[in-house]
Chain A
Amino acid sequence: MHRRMKDINFLGNRNIMFIISAVFIVITIAVVAFRGLNFGIEFTGGTSIAFNNVGDIDIADMRSAFDETDETEVVIQTVVSNGEPGFLVRTSQTNPDVAAAEAQQIAERFGLPTDSYQVTTIGPDWGGNITRSSIMAFFVSIIAIVIYIAWRFQFKMGVMAVVALFHDLIIVIGIYAIVGREITPNVIAALLTILGYSLYDTVVVFHRIVDNAEEGKMKCSLMKLANHSINQVFIRTVNTALAQLIPVLVLLFFGGETLKDFAFAMAIGLVCGAYSSIAISTPLYVLWKEREPKYAKLKKRYPDDLPSTRRRKQLEREAAAAQAQ
């Protein structure tokens, strides 16, 4: 009859979640340190030429065509777009005039129409510009967000929301490093939006904690109240994560190159964002908050009201033993 489920014990088992995150972060740092990240030409300068619908021209033909130009560092990849074979060629050319002429020359050589290729040339200083403005955008958002959350809720919540954010960003970067995907300004944009997503989830949980804490006198530790809050919004978290993930995944599978760029980063970010609101920001916030006298007292009064699964079993054994005596 009674369908209401018992609360899932997330926060009692917080140490397990901390360890999982710590492992991810360590792996990320190691991979980035040893393998580095693969930055796109937007950051390094150079030219990227996308040839589409190239018929049966093979990569060797393309390579020999580029051998006739003055380019020395030519990377040629085969791609499939719209079901048709194509090439993505990267060179270190930073002069758009020369790059456009080379692309035209090669298209002519293979008899490709003028609208079948796309030339992007990035000057050597542009990467610095992009990086600077991205970092600026990042810090401006972070500061604005902390101020907003501090004003609307609590300063400690703002700080922990941002900690969760860094956690998500680090993991996304780690996955980029591991799969060796190219980092483009679109990825940076996606990362900055992940900030938004990650926060959205965190804010929803924090909002509920504030609501619950305000309702009457607390008869449990803050950790238990927070765990209950997470459970109250859990179905929402899962459903919205799915509702958001679906369009992103569709983008990843059906979208063109630019859209895939966004979608890959967003997909990982979404999952991380939902996870970190439960596993990182909330428990850290509670641990910090419980240093305040009011909540420290509650914690002392209800010391074992949210034990970890292991601890609960131990308590049960102790109780059984006591009863047996």
Chain B
Amino acid sequence: MAQKKRKKKGGRRLHKTDKQYIGLLVLIAVLLVASVICFTPLNKRITQGLDIQGGLSVTMTASHIDGSAVTAEELDEAVTIVTNRVNKLGASEATVQAQGSNNILVQIPGLTDADEAISTIGKTGTLEFVDLRTITDQDALAAITSGQENVPLEPGTYTAFMTGDSLSGVSVGKASQTSADYAVDLQLDDAGTKAFADVSTDLVATHGQIAIVLDGVVNSAPAVQSAITNGQVQITGNYTVDEAKALKTVLESGALPVNLVFSESRVVGPTLGQDSLAKGVLAAGIGFAIVAVYLLFFYRGLGLLTVANLGVFAILYLGLLAVLSHYGLFALSMAGMAGIVLTIGLAADSSILVLERVKEEIRMGRSVKAASLSGVRHAIGTSVDADLVTLVSALALFFVAIGTVKGFGLTLALGIICDLVTLFVFKMPLIRLLANGSFQKHPVFWGINGDLEDGHAAEAAALERGLGDA
């Protein structure tokens, strides 16, 4: 009798809630189509990180020589300067980002000749002009006047009358008409020209020397032969054309407000990265396939739902990654790839959670419809809690950690968000709609026949107990 009554309740008439469920399914269909459009072709739409694409990745740590803390403004300024330098290297898709409180991450895709880049981007680039008479370090002074090259000067033992801030133009030219070496020609701005004119006028009588100091090392110390009033100064140092150009880049972009030290540098060959990507994709594919087969075997029709759910999840996920790539917010790294493979497991997990709960409620003697309603509700509660807890650690990784780990946290967090969306917009409405019809008609296909039998037995037992009590 009870069964008959239930059957009536679960008729095929469309309820208001059914319409909502269908609406949600239409919504997900639209989202899916949009995602597919966004991410095809995959290899173009999802930005590949440096470790996959190949190139140079450098992390530099900023500090002050005196050990004082680096401020956020200084780090920003350093990022801007480094960006200028990287752009002048001709790297089009390079990214320069601040990481943490004192790190700068430079990524130059496709660049495999790292030497030049490394020597250019991290140079402090502090240019100073020093009247030799202000140098207090007698040993250094003696070395310079004796013509020794590259004499280092300790900070505080000299006073600069002008710095690189006074440059208005920098160009590369031959050191002299007959020389094979290159030099960097500097044009000073008005204030610089005046300062240089004053000092050189002062020194011309004694043929005193002016030291040109680059990053604390005396580059050259020409003796003043005549007052220089046109604001033109040349830096010579037996440079090749490349070296002169690198110096030009450094000087033009201005001096860094901080000292940069290389913390990490990775040079990845392009074939290597593609190779590991291929392996990752293969692993993801195999993983996905085995999980699908396993679920189909274990849950039959319901397993099919789970596999469909995984498919929907994967499409949405790829769509999201493509959109983020488009806005330059995402690049797939190997660590990120690991995160992606793991989210397959997470998505399967939340599906299994729902199925198990629904089956269990059927076993407890609830009607298929009632079970799917309350089962889904309960299981969603659990899934959301569990997802949020994982999200917390993924976000902590993304925001707090540095280096490759960041990418891992990001893909994991994005995967969890997609999982939550899939759960509410696809899985929940679909199960509830099917519960109204197909589940009841084809229990064997959906793999719930055993649970139904248990349910009837439980119901019968309860009935018996109830009679006994009465």
Residues of A within 8 A of B (CB): 1-4, 42, 50, 52, 81-82, 95-97, 99-101, 103, 114-123, 125-126, 129-130, 133-134, 136-138, 140-141, 144-145, 148-149, 152, 185-186, 188-190, 192-193, 195-197, 199-200, 203-204, 207-208, 211, 232-233, 235-236, 239-240, 242-248, 250-251, 254-259, 262-263, 266
Contact = CB atoms under 8 A, between A and B. Distances in A.
A81 B349 contact: no
B405 A126 contact: no
A248 B283 CA distance: 9
A114 B112 contact: yes
Nearest to A48: B266
Contacts of B403: 42, 130, 133, 185
B28 interface: no
B402 A130 contact: yes
Given A2-B457, A193-B394, A248-B342, A257 B276 contact: yes
B429 to A, nearest CB: 22
A244 B457 CA distance: 34
Contacts of B378: 211
B219 interface: no
B347 to A, nearest CB: 9
Contact of A254 (B103, B283, B458): B283
Contacts of B402: 129-130, 133
Interface in B234-288: 261-272, 275-276, 279-280, 282-284, 286-288
A266 B345 CA distance: 12
A81 B279 CA distance: 10
A96 B58 contact: yes
Contacts of B266: 118-121
25 contacts: A2-B457, A82-B275, A100-B267, A101-B115, A115-B270, A119-B267, A125-B263, A137-B397, A137-B400, A185-B405, A189-B408, A192-B397, A196-B394, A199-B389, A200-B389, A203-B389, A204-B386, A207-B382, A207-B385, A239-B356, A243-B291, A243-B349, A247-B284, A248-B341, A259-B283
Interface size class of B (residues with CB under 8 A): 35 or more
Secondary structure type dominating chain A contacts: helix
B264 A121 contact: yes
Given A97-B118, A116-B271, A243-B352, A203 B385 contact: yes
Nearest to B409: A189
Given A100-B115, A116-B272, 11 more contacts: A42-B403, A52-B269, A115-B272, A119-B265, A120-B264, A196-B390, A199-B386, A243-B349, A248-B345, A255-B338, A255-B341
A247 B344 contact: yes
A144 B276 CA distance: 34
A268 B400 CA distance: 25
Contact of B353 (A137, A188, A195, A236): A236
B342 A193 contact: yes
B345 A195 contact: no
Given A193-B394, A251-B341, A233 B356 contact: yes
Contacts of A263: 338
B59 interface: yes
Contacts of B335: 186, 189, 258, 262
B280 A255 contact: yes
A148 B454 CA distance: 37
B161 interface: no
Given A185-B404, A247-B287, A258-B335, A200 B396 contact: no
A50 to B, nearest CB: 8
B390 A199 contact: yes
Given A145-B392, A148-B392, A240-B349, A246 B287 contact: yes
Nearest to A252: B283
B348 interface: yes
Contacts of A193: 342, 390, 393-394, 397, 408, 412
Contacts of B394: 193, 196
B267 A118 contact: yes
Contacts of A196: 389-390, 392-394, 412
Interface of B: 51, 54, 58-59, 61, 100, 103, 112, 114-115, 118-119, 261-272, 275-276, 279-280, 282-284, 286-288, 290-291, 294-295, 298, 334-335, 337-338, 341-342, 344-346, 348-349, 352-353, 356, 360, 363, 378, 381-382, 385-386, 388-390, 392-394, 396-397, 400-405, 408-409, 412, 450, 453-454, 457-458
Nearest to B386: A200
Contacts of B408: 186, 189, 193, 262
A240 B348 contact: yes
Contacts of A145: 389, 392-393
Contacts of A186: 335, 338, 404-405, 408
Given A101-B115, A246-B291, A81 B275 contact: yes
A47 to B, nearest CB: 9
B396 A123 contact: no
Nearest to A256: B276
Contacts of B61: 123, 125-126, 129
Contacts of A118: 266-269, 272
A81 B295 CA distance: 32
B348 A152 contact: no
Nearest to B265: A96
A8 to B, nearest CB: 16
A115 B274 CA distance: 11
Nearest to B400: A137
A296 to B, nearest CB: 28
Contacts of B267: 100, 103, 118-120
A72 B57 CA distance: 26
A2 B462 CA distance: 13
B280 A137 contact: no
Contacts of A100: 114-115, 118, 265, 267
A2 B397 CA distance: 48
B115 A192 contact: no
Closest 7 CB pairs of A and B: A247-B287, A244-B345, A115-B269, A256-B276, A96-B265, A196-B390, A126-B263
Nearest to A82: B275
A254 B279 CA distance: 6
Contact of A259 (B268, B334, B393, B412): B334
Contact of B396 (A99, A149, A192): A192
Contact of A144 (B114, B284, B385, B392): B392
Contacts of B59: 126
A135 to B, nearest CB: 9
